[in-house]
Structure 1
Amino acid sequence: MIGSNNALCYDGDTVRFQPGFISPPSDPASLIQSQIKMMIEEMYRMAGLSFVTGTRQEMSGIAKQWEFERTNQRLSEFSKRCAAAERKIMDKVARWMGLEIEYQATYSSDFGVTDITTDLKNAQAVLDLGLTDELKVEVTKQVLASYVPELSADRFDAIVESLKHSEPDYNEPVSPEEKESQTPLPPEPVPKDEE
């Protein structure tokens, strides 16, 4: 312990090296920290999550839409890997238990925000074109996926099959005679002498 009775003295004019705390220069450490920060930002950029780093970039609506589509695609790929992992786990459990289990893992493949009203309007616009019956079935599949996404695969297939075998009259234009029969007639005016 150094106190006033045993302190080391030195002459600043004659002593070449002054005593002090020895520490390495901070330049290499700051260089390493900046490299780490750049690598983290690059990982977020490559993952399409540059907004996490806190750096804001002005983007157009189309650029944001493309960025969201990339994020949606990555989430979809991740959900497929999760479903595959779940099936493998279930297969191992079944083999361990000595059972034969049929197991189906279903994960969502679309994580986008769906506007059901717009989807239905677009589907009706396509149906109004009066194209082939096959296209009508495909439009119906998209409507079902948008309107009832939690529908089971068996029920979905049953609805599509029933649509294929039904008479495709849901999109036929209405004839003028049918329009007249469907339009209610206005009430006839009451004569003034009956009032």
Structure 2
Amino acid sequence: MLDDDRRFRRRVALMAVGVVAVFAVLIGMAAGGPTFEETFGGQGASPSASPSASGPATASPSASASPSASASASASPDGVRGVEADGAAAACDAMAADAVRAFVTDSPDREASLRRLFTDDAQGLSTPVSALAGQDPSADYGTGLMDGSASTAVCSVWNGGESPWIVSLRRQDTGRWMATGIQGPYDQYVMEDPGDAADR
């Protein structure tokens, strides 16, 4: 009974920390602070990349996850990594939901999907799928651009949870966009010990 009470209090504390962290990042970006990549150590963040003039936007769970007409997302040929998209918002629409779906789904082609969408040094991929909370396979995925420039994008992806996943994207030298990091809300990670959070 005492152990159950401790576990419950620990989970509540972790969820509270996660919510505060997400809101702190959102408020920091709204105030012109560092981008997600700069905050969480994304490789290759460009100091000259400035947020778009339109400012950050958030996605609602009902937002459409279908790619825009200016993005060719899904059918990239075998061996071709990333997606083509015309700008940060189109890149979010084109691949952010696919990146989260590939990350949270335990399937035989998971590694191939992650390699197609994520850079080799992408942050967050060290978390095994077994450490993630069970996902609803029928959930609608909604995306939104939180922050972006000509070469970077920070996208929110809703898939039925209380908070969104955050996916950072970067336009590569090839002209194609790839994900450079993924971070879920704390309630999406299964942790026996709060110290495990330091591993992510």
1 or 2, which has the higher strand percentage?
A: 2
Higher RCO (CA < 8 A, seq sep 6+): 2
Provide the TM-score with structure 2 as the length reference: 0.19
Provide the TM-score with structure 1 as the length reference: 0.19
